[in-house]
Structure 1
């Protein structure tokens, strides 16, 4: 059956490159001569819509299902970890070098930009050598006495994983509510700290999303409760400080298991909102924050194919919606007449501008937009009824609203970054139109952005659509096909992968790599239609877009087949699985992080977290047409007896988003069927989940491992 790994002294040289395109070269890569683990075959038959499928590795879900093979699953995953470590042992000095140089760029003793809320300046600071942060405040001004509200470094001592979320101070400044996850399944316990006494109270609110919203009385906390099995956000409850969570009142129960729910508060502090949203439809309920015991009212009943969100101003509500407006528009209504019959135009729909959100202030509105694949901010003066966009001046960049908690202010903060510009926080006076840089991420070791080049280009894909690609590389990098290129994408849920700076990425760029992001369909970079054209029965556009972007980069001499590498995570890991099935010879190496690769099996199992929420994204396989389309691209279902690229697959045992068994099954099937000598490696983090390590330095070890993998394939050892 499975074979334990013994000594790995014998070295076997293998050829992992191929010849043909200009700039390609044959690379001799030495790997230890070790037999890979072999997963036991235990046939399981699935019959759906008259289609019979035998799944030899279905048993690998037993640890998740608490089945009879639970212990065997752990043994297998540990064998895979030992194998991966042995295969990459020669890279350990490089991994350590990469980790040290990436860590050396991080300013260890640092502090976030303070923000003013209700008379206090709040900020986070980090100390040298510590993994986490301290959440602090000063009263009245920045020269005041520091009050450490949470010392997460101390709280996390002795924990393999520790995440703090949803920090919310009550309106009277007395209580701090916060969520803690020590398992890495995004299931938080909410605690409440009395900031007057320093006591963490006995309140323990289990199975939450981590965040809470305070009512105006500073004693009532609304929070989102999760289903303990499916982890779906299912209920909104009301908790009173100092009482047992066992008596918390359920104020809302979402019956549609395809929707996510959450609770929030308007910036002016007057309203509490419950949002229920699926991929295609949403509904909002609202309550005056000063009346926490009253019932929530429906703002506008949900409708098929209509999304909307609500923003509260002092004299009206604003509604951002796609009703008769694919790229969204903004409407307004009176505070006492919220039905859609009362909605009036405020910002009209524009065919080539996607409205992504609004940030409200007493006299101004900041609208986050996207045009031609680039983000933008437009300022609206509510009194003068004028508007103007901000200008940023780089070919490819990302701009987003920053922390803006004050309603009665003329000052707006935004974050700005690009592939060569470190994360920067600006403050902009909307009345005087003056801006100032408050903070820019400091990169230790002498980073100079002028030593790097960023580009934006468009690949014409097979159906004639132009797909944007953002690139960065070090000056002097040749475009003759000889440069190695790392191509990244995601392409799902309408999530746009906008260009941003990474100090860790410098370790690749400084070794001659080009880094590129393919803004493929399934994201929302080019507007709402861009997303619609990359989901459900059009999902394959996501995969072919990525493949065609790879071919474009080869054709235009940015790289060549022997030097092209791909990476994606989660739904982007699905992308990786699909593209190696569809175009296996295009990539020299692929990294698939926490990959969603067993689409059909997962989407048929409603006990798996997130499954029912995803029907509008992937389809419901209980319907024959959706089942057949999913099966036609699901990576696990389509593994064949052919040569695949070198592959590094990572997962987490406690992953709540993509369960560990999907990548484990995929690797087992690839090993059983693939031809050739390319390596397939699986690394399971036995302590963490979907996001990896919680410490601010630990994740760099994972980054170093991934970089070392592709550097080894490229023949780079230093």
Structure 2
């Protein structure tokens, strides 16, 4: 459900075969979940859910069913197990195992992460004074992960005296992080271990002993309380400083770039924003509201010297930039416009420097970086020179610099980190992702085309393929999209994708409505009572790709995860004949039942994305597209569905129920496979190599369908 930067943009490729030639054993019996009807009624409408009981996570019958599905998948895909292993080794072989990030300077230290050969997890390090100084290891993820099937460090923050670090860790993949504090000089871990906290939402006060954090409800997984903790004291005595009473708001907490303020941000999922501020030098003081929340007003703030820059949609659908003096933030008559609203440009991001403003913008579906010299009042856009790419402002903790750190990637260019001198306009490439195995970007071609969909709107499509790939309908193609929460699926690089491009696949990203690629209206036209635009756009893009000979229906594959998994469920109900195979990762497919259950994590915060089905107009609309409710007796494409037992975003039982129902309803003999990671959650495996095994499984499933088994 909840927006995630899902990087399951897998890509595939190969030679063609007929459906009859697909390798799929017929002697293996698929598991069948027991039918236990439960009648669900609201608005005078009754729905019978035969598999509702699968939400009983502790029920041995449920666990045994999930294990049976896993065993069935292994049996069906056994003939391509060697291909799956080969893909894993191939993808692993492209990764530079001993690698290091570009350092950034903050305070007196340079911070970076590195990986060691064979290591699954990052090692967080720093050096004092210069990069020639001795290395200090702050956190060794490989050591910390020992004894855990899943492990994640959820960020860290160093105290003002640079001696202590708050960090958070998750060993279950339920996104309930335990907060810890480490003395970076002695290596001592303090006894505090505060459970059920929000990832990355913590901050030090300037006294180097007081910290603030967000507590989450372990049932709904919503962060709803902010506590103040004094180092060395019992967390049971922590002081509650703020409680969010509206369970439709998500919360975050951070220290401002200026370090002056601790900021609590409350966000009503694209509908309303509110910030509360506390002077970090007065930790026992009161948080004050920057500007009270109001429906329809979203804003972000950056503090600089004696004022705030405000990115706001107040009278500006695509957002504009304003500034306001400290102490006058609640008086909108004191707000001064810096960058006006533009109907064709979406203001997505900003960073502030002593002499420059840097804006992240979106125009015509592409990201742009705009640098404004505040002394000369001149500006420029960085030129990237490729038809489909993604560029973004990096981490720039220092106000007093004329050097901008930014990131760049494209469908053919590996992830790159640049420094840009905003005065001399000189670009310096600091690091480009090293892809082993003889990768040459000149062997690949990217395109940007537009499909006119059924209501006349032009939807952008980003494509990449290996040079020499024929566009005569003979190439297999994987079409990917997400299309929800205003999350834009940008055309970035993937080294795993090469395993598929090199076998003849074309990869296409459909920039459908529900994302924000084409501005705020693009998002608004793909949510709530306009959600079906998302599904229609994807299907119409598929038809465009077939019509224009990029592929054919017997070689077209589709993939999406989370809300993109909902998309997969909707498109195979609407147009199953267009797709040879579909991968639905952690799919949100039981929309109505989930959105009616406010005890399920994240439900209440999603009402402004999908609607509240307690209101009949939303109930009827959701029911008309919910994949689980619209399974019919008809032929469906080959389908691989993945989930995680501990998924915090989309509960495992949604895909499990969907597969169980499809088994009883579908009229075809195509593959229907469910894989449950019994040790992970929404993002899958935590280790960098373990995650590749899950991608290899998806690739093997699709490649088998086009005849590749070795």
Partner Cα distance (1:210, 1:203) in 2:
17
Q: Which residue number in structure 2 is paired with residue 192 of structure 1? A: 181
Q: Which one of 276, 285, 296 corresponds to residue 294 of structure 1? A: 285
**1:26 Cα deviation (Å)?**
5.0
Query: Is this contact kept in 1: 2:19–2:705, CA < 8 A?
Result: no
Whether 1:304 and 2:295 are equivalent positions in the alignment is yes
The whole-number CA distance in structure 1 between the counterparts of 2:349 and 2:530 is 26
Deviations along 1:257-277, one digit per CA (max 9) or x if unpaired, are 111011112111111211100
Tell me the equivalent position of 2:490. 498
**SS at the partner of 2:577?**
helix
Aligned-residue RMSD, C-alpha? 1.0
Distance 1:384 1:247 in 2: 53
2:126–2:135 contact (8 Å) kept in structure 1: yes
For 2:154, what is the secondary structure of its paired residue? strand
Distance 1:178 1:210 in 2: 9
Q: How far does the alpha carbon of each residue in 1:229-275 deviate from its partner, in whole angstroms, 9 at most, with x for none? A: 11101111111111121111111111111110111121111112111
Q: Pick from 268, 271, 277 the counterpart of residue 261 of structure 2.
A: 271
Output one character per residue of 1:388-435: Cα deviation in whole Å (capped at 9) or x when no partner.
211111001000112211222111100000000000000011122211
- Tell me which residue corresponds to 2:10: none
The within-5 A match list for 1:162-177 is: 162-177=151-166
In the alignment, is the contact (CA less than 8 A) between 1:422 and 1:441 conserved in 2? yes
1:418-497 alignment runs, 5 A limit = 418-497=410-489
The reply to whether residue 145 of structure 1 matches residue 134 of structure 2 is: yes
The unaligned stretches of length 5 or more in structure 1 are 1-22
Report whether the alignment pairs 1:57 with 2:41: no
Hey, what's the Cα distance between the residues in 2 that align with 1:214 and 1:380? 32
Following TM superposition, by how much is the alpha carbon of 1:24 offset from its aligned partner in structure 2, in angstroms?
Answer: 8.6
Which residue of structure 2 lines up, in the alignment, with residue 235 of structure 1?
A: 225
What is the match of residue 577 of structure 1? 569
- Report the counterpart of residue 114 of structure 2 in structure 1: 125
The alpha-carbon deviation at position 603 of structure 1 amounts to: 0.4
- Which residue number in structure 2 is paired with residue 325 of structure 1? 316
Question: What is the CA deviation profile of residues 471-523 of structure 1, one whole-angstrom value per residue up to 9, with x for unaligned ones?
Answer: 00000000000000000000000000001101100000000000010000000
Equivalent residues of 2:23, 2:705 under 8 A apart? no
Distance in 1 separating the partners of 2:453 and 2:164: 55
Structure 1 400/300 Cα, relative in aligned 2: closer, same or farther at 3 Å? same
Secondary structure of 1:199's partner?
A: coil
**Displacement of 1:224 after TM fit?**
1.4
Asked if residue 387 in structure 1 is aligned to residue 379 in structure 2, the reply is yes
For 1:689, what is the secondary structure of its paired residue? Answer: coil
**1:568 corresponds to 2:560:** yes
Name the stretch that deviates more: 571-580 or 302-311.
302-311
Higher relative contact order (CA 8 A, sep 6+): 2
1:43 corresponds to 2:37:
yes
Q: Which residue of 1 aligns with 2:684?
A: 692
CA distance in 2, matches of 1:565, 1:637: 23
Equivalences for residues 259-658 of structure 1 within 5 A: 259-278=249-268, 279-339=270-330, 340-658=332-650
Q: Which runs of 5+ in 2 are unaligned?
A: 1-15
Q: CA 1:265–1:382 in structure 2 vs 1: closer, same or farther (change >3 Å)?
A: farther
Mean CA deviation greater in 569-578 or 206-215: 206-215
Query: Counterparts of 2:352 and 2:345 in 1: how far apart (Å)?
Result: 20
Q: Does structure 1 retain, via aligned residues, the 8 Å contact 2:390–2:409?
A: yes
Given that 2:322 and 2:335 are in contact with CA atoms closer than 8 Å, whether structure 1 keeps it comes out as yes
Whole-Å separation in 1 of the counterparts to 2:313 and 2:30? 51
| 2:20 is the counterpart of 1:30 | no
Deviation at 1:386, TM superposition (A): 2.5
Counterpart Cα distance in 1 of 2:63 and 2:471: 46
Q: Which of 206, 209, 212 does residue 222 from structure 1 map onto?
A: 212
Confirm or deny: 8 A CA contact 1:204 1:244 kept in the other structure: no
Q: Distance in 1 between matches of 2:310 and 2:171?
A: 38
- Counterpart secondary structure, 2:640: strand
Return the alpha-carbon distance in structure 1 between the equivalents of residues 404 and 304 of structure 2.
16
**Partner secondary structure for residue 427 of structure 1:** strand
User: 2-side partners of 1:632 and 1:511: how far apart?
Assistant: 39
Question: Could you tell me which residue of structure 1 aligns to residue 74 of structure 2?
Answer: 85
Between Structure 1 and Structure 2, how many residues are aligned?
691
CA drift at 1:633: 0.2
Q: Secondary structure at the match of 2:215?
A: strand
Distance 1:377 1:651, change over 3 A: same
Corresponding residue SS for 1:602: helix
Shift of 1:315: 2.7
| Deviating more after overlay: 340-349 vs 657-666 | 340-349
After superposition, the C-alpha distances for 1:173-205 in whole angstroms (9 at most, x for unaligned) are: 010111000000111001100112110110111
2:62 aligned to 59, 70, 73, which one?
Answer: 73
| CA shift in 2, pair 1:698/1:24, >3 Å | closer
SS of 2:22's partner is: strand
Offset of residue 27 of structure 1: 4.8
Residue 564 of structure 1 contacts residue 588 of structure 1 at CA under 8 Å; is this kept in 2? Answer: yes
Do 1:24 and 1:482's aligned partners in 2 also have CA atoms closer than 8 Å?
Answer: no
